[in-house]
Amino acid sequence: MRRALPFNAKITKEAKETVQECVSEFISFITGEAIDNCQREKRNLINGDDLLWSMNRLYFESYTISLKVNLVRSELILKYTFEN
């Protein structure tokens, strides 16, 4: 939040709490859609691709490209870390 505002801007505690509530609700919304899809496919685990799928389905596709890049990057780092 701080990076999006001017250097001298103040952020109230209530504003921080409101943003946190919105972020939590957004995560629940996306995760719920991913869980529903996994249940339809008779799978017990959701993964990053499921979350990206649900974001596309819920019209948040403008975020999924950069998230997919970071997901692949993280998977490569984990793979390299465990191989060495």
The residue type of 63 is Y
Cβ–Cβ under 8 Å, residues 33 and 5: no
Domain architecture of the chain: domains with CATH? 13-83 (1.10.20.10)
Report the C-alpha gap between 48 and 66 in whole angstroms: 13
pLDDT in tens, the chain (84 residues): 778 889 899 999 999 999 999 999 999 999 999 999 999 999 999 999 999 999 999 999 999 999 999 999 999 999 888 887
In the numeric block, which tokens belong to residue 60? 């948040």
- Model-level pTM? 0.78
